Chain A
Amino acid sequence: MTDAAMADTLSLEVATPERELVRELVSDVQVPGKNGYMGILPGHAPLLGLLGIGTLTYVSVSDGKKRYISIHQGFLEVLEDHVRVLADVAERAEEIDVQRARAALQRAQEEGLNPALGVDPGAALLAMARAQARLEAAEQK
């Protein structure tokens, strides 16, 4: 193993097409993968994976605090203690509008249950998962 792989920190970068959310040193990252959550620690092997919908959690080195980011799809790369998360949509827990997320959840549930509204059940399910993920992230801040 190289020296870099033995370091005890990871450099985490989280970006969406519209902006960069995080660029800092962290000691631990949990990522919502397509097939379930993954924990990434320093020294992780190179990895390429797809993201699902959920909450990304990381522990910042600077103050040792846990932070939460709600993530909707995208992908991640782990390479030489760099974790690069490229999400389609991402929001910090502090930024999430809880009321809006709740309203979206309710709307999605109604749309999912009532076929008369003419919404594709798959799309409704996805919207539901998104709203749920945002609420979960918001509650943890």
Chain B
Amino acid sequence: MPSLIDIRRRIRSVKNTQQITKAMKMVSAAKLRRAQDRTIASRPYGALLRKVLGNVAAAIAGDEDAVENPLLARRDEKRILLVLITADKGLAGAFNTNLIKGAQRFQTERPGVEVKFVLIGRKGRDFFRKRAAIVAGEHVGLAAKLRHEDTAAIARQAMEMFRAEEIDAVYLIYNEFKSVATQTLTVARVLPAELPQQASPVDYIFEESPAEMLNELLPKYVEMEFYRALSESSASEHAARMTAMDAASSNAADMIERLTLYMNRVRQSSITKEIIEVVSGAAAAE
């Protein structure tokens, strides 16, 4: 039977852990709020861009030059660039594990396809750097201060590779934020780009030729997709960490309760034992 002091020490250590997990939960909640605000703030631009792109797509429907935009080129997917967006830090439940497993599944589902990786986030980078993976780019510490220009630079690199026909498709794999409790693993193809459908074409005055317009708009669309994925991922990360830390805090509370009960029982039994010893000692002396 462990001594009372041992159990007391154990309880104290669990309490300390609980304090840390509680604090981490609070921090994650605050960060989640900020990440959510950012995601919401970027929506108008995304919605407008899709709309305008749809209008342009309708306007150029018959235009051969414009339809032949290199970012729309469909090729057999023999070489794929997979952009894996993980977190920089752990302690977020299955957040990173799911992503890494998803990325590995992506690879095994496509035998004979060469998959190149762009690794965003420390966790994914550390995992795939140790494996025999073809890494085309590594980016760590982006999510801490998410800026459009940084994500746009990654998008431009991917588009450059796609235009140069080094790769035939670009996929993003990330956790999409559904709610605080649910984040879904999402695999989305961003290149070749898909033009949104628009029912009625608008007769625009084009300041530039439609083909040129599309040339300007499509990269912005792809850049936007990258930014959106990263901001979704960062909201998911904080939500996942918040949930994980909440579970950890309540587990710690359970453990403290059980240990306290056990400690009391140990104390009680040692008192009982002592009484028995005193009583039986007295009986023997009579």
Asked if A16 CB lies within 8 Å of chain B CBs, one says yes
Q: Nearest-CB distance from B200 to chain A (Å)?
A: 12
Minimum CB–CB distance from A4 to chain B (whole Å) comes to 13
Smallest CB-CB separation from B146: which chain A residue? A18
Q: Interface majority SS on B: helix, strand, loop or mixed?
A: helix
Contact for A48 among B148, B152, B213, CB less than 8 A: B213
Roughly how many angstroms separate A13 CA and B46 CA in the complex, as a whole number? 13
When the two chains form their complex, are residues B207 and A18 in contact, meaning their CB atoms are under 8 A apart?
no
Report the bound CA distance from A46 to B59 in whole Å.
12
**How many chain A residues touch B (Cβ–Cβ < 8 Å)?**
24
B207 touches A47 (CB 8 A): yes
- CB-based contact A17/B207 at 8 Å: no
**Residue with the highest number of chain B CB atoms closer than 10 Å, among A16, A20, A48, A84:** A48
Indicate if the CB atoms of A79 and B220 lie closer than 8 Å: no
| Chain A-chain B contacts (Cβ-Cβ < 8 Å), number | 80
Chain A residues close to B by CB (< 8 Å): 13, 15-20, 23, 33-35, 45-50, 74-75, 77, 79, 84, 86, 88
A13 B44 Cβ-Cβ under 8 A? yes
Find the A residue at minimum CB distance from B212.
A50
Do the beta carbons of A46 and B208 come within 8 Å of each other?
Answer: no
What residue of chain B has the Cβ atom nearest to residue A21's Cβ?
B44
Known: A74-B220, A75-B216, A77-B52. 8 other contacts (CB 8 A): A17-B45, A19-B41, A45-B205, A47-B207, A48-B55, A48-B56, A48-B204, A48-B206
CB <8 Å contact, B45 and A34: no
Q: Determine whether the beta carbon of A79 is less than 8 Å from that of B202.
A: yes
- A86 with B42, Cβ < 8 A, contacts A46-B204, A47-B204, A75-B216 known: no
By Cβ-Cβ distance, the 9 closest A-B pairs, closest first, are A49-B207, A15-B45, A20-B44, A19-B41, A17-B148, A15-B44, A47-B205, A46-B204, A48-B204
Chain A proximity of B133: nearest CB distance (Å): 30
